[in-house]
Amino acid sequence: MNIDKKIADDLVANGVSFVTTVPCKQLAGVIEEVEARDEIFHIPANKEDEGMGLCAGAHMGGKRPMIIMQNTAIGVTINTLATLTQFYRMPLPMLISYRGELREPVACQVEMAVHTKALLAQLNIPTYHFHWQKDVEEFDNILKYTFMCNKPVAILTDANFWGGYGDQ
Amino acid sequence: MIRSEILREIAPILRDHLVVCNIGLPSQELHMIDDQPTNFYMLGTMGLSSSIGLGLALSQPKTVISIDGDGSVLTNLGTLPTIANNVADNFILLIIDNGSYGSTGDQPTYAGKKTKLEAVAAACGCENVVTCQDVDTGKALQAALDSKKMTVIVSKCDSGNIKLPVITMDPVVIKDRFMKAVAS
């Protein structure tokens, strides 16, 4: 199964047409796939809170948005998640590369990984963790759930899910 | 002129368009001067007025005016390259540049010192950047609307605030009212 294509297919099928991204090596394939889809407007952001602002505007303009980012971004976006996305009740699926988990080669990434789930839990953000490739089958349901409840929802995707880091 | 005087003067122009208004005193002032369903008031999240406005402009055809401040643009400088590289001709970013963080007690910003936001915007690739004095803001805004080109306006004015109450409207009500105005 090509998980990049499956994720993009589910986005299109759920009417997600506005996607902002801050890149991560693990996310390169899915970002490329999003960029290639005519049904999706892809707008790279310079910082993840800026991306959440773009998504807030797209939501109010009648589009279904999504953000793709690293888990380090949770440290950047807590204020935006609380005072914009949650305070105004905006739906926002967040496809997050979960750096610092199993098969991670870079020690520093672990320092945010150990806080990631605790921070999301503190924010009462529904959180899913994709560890096996088959977990992607849940993505469609998570998108439907997000736009049903008008909340930010986190999908953490670790290195094992993306197939590791090759020779690193 | 101070910011609230500019807002009072341009309110008749703003009324006909979607407006995303910056956190703190700017939103409180606009709310008091001319509350409209077409106004989206930011109650938190400093810096994102331009990002919300751009996302909105890219997602529907109506004209969107983001009212921002120099301090808020400085806190989200990454917004200017994103704006420059994703042209939405229905988007106007109006930066009211009073050289200070007005809502927090008029502490000076770097825009009030050496940094020129109009030069930053141009260097980021924004093609239509207009600098004006406070008294000419209405004229500059109308010209930008008439041009139907994405425009960044930097309006230079004095720092200073008026006393006024906070916005007590619930955020979900603000958003619901605004989204209905967007869709109408």
* A168 within domain boundaries: no
A19 burial class (0-12, 13-18, 19+ CB within 10 angstroms)? Answer: buried
- Beta-carbon separation of A89 and B60 below 8 A: no
Distance from CA of A60 to the nearest CA of B (A): 6
Please give the single-letter amino acid code of residue B103. S
Q: Is B91 on the interface with A (CB under 8 A)?
A: no
User: What are the tens digits of pLDDT across the range A23-65?
Assistant: 999 999 999 999 999 999 999 999 999 999 999 999 999 999 9
- Beta-carbon separation of A90 and B175 below 8 A: yes
Q: Can you tell me the ipTM of this complex?
A: 0.97
Give chain A positions within 8 Å (CB) of B178.
60
Q: Is A57 on the interface with B (CB under 8 A)?
A: yes
pLDDT at B95: 98
Q: Is A40 on the interface with B (CB under 8 A)?
A: no
Tokens of A31: 């970002």
pLDDT at A165: 66
* A51 within domain boundaries: yes
pLDDT, mean of residues B4-23 = 97
| Three-state SS at B58 | helix
Cα distance between residue B181 and residue B184, in whole Å: 5
Give chain B positions within 8 Å (CB) of A63.
59
Nearest to residue A109, comparing CAs of A100, A118, A117?
Answer: A100
| pLDDT over 60 at B37, yes or no | yes
Total number of domains in chain A:
1
pLDDT at B105: 87
In sequence order, which residues have a C-beta less than 8 Å from that of residue A26 and are 6 or more positions away? Answer: A97, A99, A157, A159, A162
User: What are the tens digits of pLDDT across the range B155-173?
Assistant: 999 999 999 999 999 999 9
- Beta-carbon separation of A45 and B54 below 8 A: no
State what percent of residues in chain A have pLDDT above 90.
95
Q: Is A81 on the interface with B (CB under 8 A)?
A: no
- Beta-carbon separation of A88 and B81 below 8 A: no
Distance from CA of A70 to the nearest CA of B (A): 18
Give chain A positions within 8 Å (CB) of B124.
none
The CATH number given to whatever domain includes residue A127 is 3.40.50.970
| pLDDT over 80 at B54, yes or no | yes
Tokens of B50: 């331009």
Tokens of B114: 């050496």
Cα distance between residue B134 and residue B143, in whole Å: 15
- Beta-carbon separation of B48 and A80 below 8 A: yes
| pLDDT over 50 at A167, yes or no | no
pLDDT at A164: 76
Chain A contact probe: residue of B45, B63, B174, B182 with most A CBs at under 10 A = B45
Contact A8, A34 (CB under 8 A): yes
Give chain A positions within 8 Å (CB) of B76.
47, 49-50, 53
Place of tokens 């004209």: B63
- Beta-carbon separation of B52 and A41 below 8 A: no
Q: How many residues does chain A have?
A: 168
Cα distance between residue B89 and residue B146, in whole Å: 11
- Beta-carbon separation of A87 and B44 below 8 A: yes
Residue A130's beta-bridge partner residues?
A157
Other residues' Cβ atoms within 10 Å of the Cβ of residue B151: 22
Q: Is A18 on the interface with B (CB under 8 A)?
A: yes
Query: Between B79, B172, B174, which is nearest A50 by CB?
Result: B79
| pLDDT over 80 at B56, yes or no | yes
| pLDDT over 50 at A127, yes or no | yes
* Mean pLDDT of the residues in chain B: 97
* A107 within domain boundaries: no
User: What are the tens digits of pLDDT across the range B71-119?
Assistant: 999 999 999 999 999 999 999 999 999 999 988 888 999 999 999 999 9
Q: Is B87 on the interface with A (CB under 8 A)?
A: no
pLDDT, mean of residues A68-82 = 97
| pLDDT over 50 at A72, yes or no | yes
Contact A133, A161 (CB under 8 A): yes
Instruction: Supply the range of the domain harboring residue A81.
Output: 3-102+118-162
- Would you identify the CATH topology of the domain B3-183? Rossmann fold (3.40.50)
Query: Between A61, A80, A88, which is nearest B55 by CB?
Result: A61
